[in-house]
Amino acid sequence: MTTLLDLKSSVLRQVQRSQSLRSRREPPPPPAPSSPLAQCPNPLPRRISEESMEFFERMNTILQKQENMLRAAQAECQRGACTVPPPQEHVDQAFIPDRISRTELDLIYEEAVYTVVNRVGVPSTEHVKSDEELFAYLLKVFDMGVEEHDIILQKVQESKRASFSLRVSVLKAKNLLAKDANGYSDPYCMLGILVGQSPRDPEEKKERKFSFRKRKDKLEKRSSTKEVLPAKCIHVTEVKPETLNPVWDEHFVFEIDDVHNDLLHLDIWDHDDDVSVAEACKKLNEVSGLRGMGRYFKQIAKSVRANGSASSGSEENADDFLGCINIPLNEIPIVGYDTWFKLEPRSSASKVQGECHLILKLFTSQRDTTSSKKDSNVSVHKKLLSQIIEYEHAHVKREPYNWNGQVSPPAWTVLTHHAVQTDLSPLQQAIIRWQCYSSHHRTQRVCYSLLLRLLRTIDAEWDPPTVRGDLERQLSDSFRLYTEHCLCLMKNMRQIFPCTSAAAITRYELMLRGIGYMQNMRAFKTVCPLRNELHLDITTAVKKGTAEWYESLIARYKPEEGTLEEQLKKLVVVVDAVCADTQRAQNIYNNLFYSAVKVDFFSSSYRQLEKLVADDVNVAMERVCGTLEQESSRLTQTMGETIFELFMSLKILKGFREFLPLKDAKMLALTGFHNWFKSSIHKFLQIVHDRSCDRICKAVETDKIEPAQKAKHSSSAMEVTTCFSQVREIWLQLAWPDSAGAFIFVTRLTDNFCSEAVCYSEMLTRKIERNQLGRDHKSFTVQLCIALNNTEHVRVFLGHLPRDLDWAGLERAMEESCGLEGKEQVYKALNGQLFNMDLDLQREAKRLITLLTDKMLPELRRYIQHISLSPDSINNDDAVSPLMKYLQDTMVILNETLVKENLARVLQSMWELLLRMILDAVTENRGVQVEFYNRFQYTVETLLQFFHAKGDGLFLEDMKSGDYKVLDEELRLNKCSSFELIEQYYLEKISLQKTLKHTRFGRISVKCYYDAPEQRLTVEILHAADIIALDANGLSDPFVIVELCPHHLFPMAKSQRTQVKLKTLHPVFDEFFYFHVSPEQYRHRFACLTFTVMDYDWLSTNDFAGEAVAPLSDFCWPGRPNASPAGKSVQPFILHLSRSKPSEKPIMRMLDARVGDREAQEFVRRLKEIEKSMEEE
């Protein structure tokens, strides 16, 4: 209830002001000097009108700010490929790794040269074969002089050659021959190194086939020294029973004497006894005197059988040969073999089939370099790779920031050989590459897709048991440093990864994907077990970066300095920058963060910025409100514009809350920010009103009152509605959330609209009135029509205010907050304003129409007079044609210039004017020939059809009302005879009698019944009541005169009267009267009994007390109860008395005008006597 009372008091001024508009329907008083529009009769200064136009242009720019921001954001989202490099990624010095000293570089260079000199394996097409080319490349990488190179090369050549080993992984075989009766085999592998057996040329390789049981003659030559061969030189796999597709997955290492000439030999056998050949091979320490490898393998088999069962010596239990493989070591690629090898027979007679999957890799078991002796292979390879990466990246010419890590063939050759020679596993190589590239990235940025690819490689190769000690610690450090580096970049993302750079956004997306991938890696969870909440670190970095960015924004614009207006303008710039940043966060950054690291970037950033902005703006607006509350202070236009722009910027910023999760959108610092602007917006709306008034005055001043474009209104009407539209848009953009405040503002706006519209119409009318002198009829008519259209155009526009300003929504809001009373208050206040405005505009429209019809009046009067004075010999069409010709010419102009609504109004006004003129002509010519009235009757019918225009004009129902009925009745009655007029008089009296109830003149009780056979009417006057007092004593001496009327219908009937009842107002008569009434007489509707109550005076004429009439049809017609033999027993009926003046009736005036008609004059005389007695009273 308190809220509603506050509303009533705050709105009272607006409501009173709107109601005062209605008084303008009366002659307008001089305009108040406080109204801007009231000061507009004189031309506006040019400066004021220009300021008004500039004001609305600035308002339009402010209103389009959000749309422009959205358009700019969409343009950023649709950015294409960009060749402009992204901004530099400045990082903390703590993330920059230490550079390698010159001494260490020399040692690494020695390692690289040693690698080149000791190359083994078959190079691929990607590798460089020339030593000179590799050395030339290394000279550039290490910035080494030729002399220094020669010294190091000589040192390497004099050092001990690298010792090589071969790692063999026997994985599985498939499609072997079935040697057992059950259709399977029990396969096992026996493998070893055949020394010096590698073929020297391709032809020799093609012809030679090796087996552990062949080429005895050549093997005997090598065994003549009776050397001792250790059992470890031959390895045997486990036996896999009953399978043709065995899976062994066993790994062996062989020391190689001659990597260029030795050969790997592998046999696959079907095991046929219970003795383990592999176990026998292990127990047999040495075999001497053997003649070659074939004998050696055979000896192992015999030894196994000798230690087995008694029957094991039988040849039937000998193992069956399933195939062999011979691989020269000098044919193994640099990176080794990982492939299926087809099994070969021992001889052309052997039948074998199937394949065996082997992994072969050569590596150095001993290296004679300084680095390899003091550092681990991993550390040495890492330093070599770091140096090569730095050199390779420095020589990338195009988009070095987008380098994918690809190195040149010499670099790839050196790195591959070194990794192979130092026996680095794929996981170790992946970790080293990650460490080197991620470390290098901290100083010289590379493509984030490269780092993501390296992380995926680590994840694919991850084997936790193989990563221990220093390698685990180094990997953990690299993850930590890279994470902190990325968090630092995230903190400064607005500068490093701006949305305006497509390349920067692409890099940022890849970086976030990398971080998101890293936190889910098995390796990361293993080596960094305490960093399991990386998304919290990311959120913290985002918040810190957002706060620092806002502080830099404040430091840049310094909104706390300067005048109050300057401070607000700077705050507008700050808020707009925050809105733009929030838009980018919502459109671009949030999608990147959520898809990559599942962090809600938008919520974190927006809530923080919204709070910072709210705090700063609240403080500034408190200063503004404090200043405006001072009596000497007023809100300037520029200050008002700035406050409005600040409000709109805050509204845009607040609007982003819809993208927050529901739980986060409830309590925001900007939730009630509109309350900070309440008093300021009130004053700002006054500025809008003043500028609107200036603009309207200028529009009227410059209006030539000519049709604008294809419309029927002029430029000022378009300007006024455009102005109203802009003001309406200002309100809609304000979107005031508080229903009570919105009600006050809408009331204020509605009042402004209404007063401006009414004043515009008045100014337009005054301009028309001033310009009418000297203008011809047609041009003036056109201008009046355009002015009418202008008023109608504005009126129709304002008729949409309930929809445009959402009055229904305001009513609902007020009903929710204040109940039904609040809703009614809104309805009454706003609709009252609109109703009064509509009345005022209609008044002005009528004023213009009056000007228009007044211009027509002389011509119309002349044509009506022509009809009136036309002799009877002239045809009606000829008499009316001048008038119709004039109306048709006028109608052409009206049709072309007036809109439909105004055309109807003008036609209605013309129709009413013509009716009045014809009525005046008829009234002035009463008592003339009937042909006179017939001609005007014809004129009226012709005009009726003309204005109706076959349904395209006025409605017949509207035309046949008011003056038309009066004129039609006047014409009809004037054409009647005197007897017909008298009959009409009594018909009206009968009709009036039926409507009388409880008059102050009293009543009379009578009983009438008709004896049809006798044609006798009996009238029994019983009594009267409440007769008016006509004597000095407060009483009367009443008597009743009863007679049949009209007299010409009952020429033989005489009037009869009752006895006088002295000194009473309630006389009782109980007297009977008899009249002869024939059926031909009572069948007329106007046949009646009249009861005239008179007050008897002894010394003067009797006074008229009242009269009543009763139609004979009520009791004479057959079938009526009064007309039957039982009529005497019917109930009496009451007639109420009346005392109307006969002269007020048109019929009396018509009869009185018929001077030569005796019946008319006699009838009038009798009625005048009654009226005279009434006047004497």
- For residues 271 and 233, the model is more confident at 271
> How far is 1034 from 436, CA to CA, in rounded Å?
131
pLDDT at 79: 56
Residue 873 burial (CB < 10 Å; 0-12/13-18/19+)? exposed
Q: From residue 909, give the alpha-carbon distance in Å to each of 26, 486, 793, 857, 982.
A: 19, 83, 20, 12, 35
Residue 808 CB: number of other CB atoms within 10 A?
Answer: 12
pLDDT at 97: 63
Phi, psi for residue 1013 in degrees, rounded to 5 = -60, -40
- For residues 782 and 664, the model is more confident at 782
Sign of CA dihedral 1121, 1125, 1126, 1132: positive
Query: pLDDT category, 31, cuts 50, 70, 90?
Result: very low
Query: pLDDT category, 228, cuts 50, 70, 90?
Result: very low
Q: Which of 795, 794, 900 has the alpha carbon at shortest distance from 838?
A: 795
The DSSP result for 550-561, as a single string, is: HHHHHHHH-TTS
> How far is 120 from 1026, CA to CA, in rounded Å?
146
Residue 287 has pLDDT above 70, yes or no: no
The structure tokens listed for 1114 are: 């009520």
pLDDT at 274: 56
Q: From residue 853, give the alpha-carbon distance in Å to each of 475, 781, 947.
A: 100, 9, 15
Residue 1175 has pLDDT above 80, yes or no: no
The structure tokens listed for 265 are: 């030999």
pLDDT of 356-376, one tens digit each?
999 999 888 888 888 888 888
To which residue do tokens 């003091």 refer?
374
pLDDT at 36: 45
Residue 811 burial (CB < 10 Å; 0-12/13-18/19+)? buried
pLDDT at 300: 54
> How far is 155 from 368, CA to CA, in rounded Å?
10
pLDDT at 27: 45
Query: What does the CA dihedral 182, 324, 171, 250 come to, rounded to 10 degrees?
Result: 100
Query: pLDDT category, 1161, cuts 50, 70, 90?
Result: confident
Residue 572 has pLDDT above 90, yes or no: yes
pLDDT at 874: 87
| % of the chain at pLDDT higher than 70 | 86
Q: What is the DSSP letter of 462?
A: -
pLDDT at 86: 82
**Cα angle, residue 615 at apex, residues 609 and 619 outer, rounded to 5°:** 145
**Cα angle, residue 662 at apex, residues 660 and 665 outer, rounded to 5°:** 60
Query: pLDDT category, 34, cuts 50, 70, 90?
Result: very low
| CB-based contact 511:489 (threshold 8 Å) | yes
| CB-based contact 17:751 (threshold 8 Å) | yes
pLDDT of 693-726, one tens digit each?
999 999 999 988 888 878 899 999 999 999 999 9
If phi > 0 it is left, if psi is from -120 to 50 it is alpha, else beta; for residue 984 that is alpha
> Mean pLDDT score of the chain, rounded to an integer?
83
* Stretch among 450-454, 820-824, 835-839 having the lowest mean pLDDT: 820-824
The structure tokens listed for 703 are: 């209006």
pLDDT at 344: 92
Residue 229 has pLDDT above 60, yes or no: no
Q: Which of 580, 618, 604 has the alpha carbon at shortest distance from 490?
A: 604
pLDDT of 1118-1158, one tens digit each?
877 776 766 677 888 899 999 887 777 778 877 877 777 78
pLDDT at 665: 64
Residue 599 neighbours by CB under 8 Å, 6+ apart: 535, 538, 539, 542, 593
Instruction: Give me the mean pLDDT over the 165-189 stretch.
Output: 92
> How far is 487 from 539, CA to CA, in rounded Å?
9
Residue 310 CB: number of other CB atoms within 10 A?
Answer: 6
* Stretch among 58-72, 80-94, 295-309, 1147-1161 having the lowest mean pLDDT: 295-309
Residue 627 has pLDDT above 90, yes or no: no
**Could you write out the three-class secondary structure of 956-984?**
HHHHCCCHHHHHHHHHHHHCCCHHHHHHH
pLDDT of 464-505, one tens digit each?
888 888 899 999 999 999 999 999 999 999 999 988 888 889
The DSSP result for 989-1039, as a single string, is: HHHHHHH--S-TT-EEEEEEEEETTTTEEEEEEEEEESPPP-STTS---EE
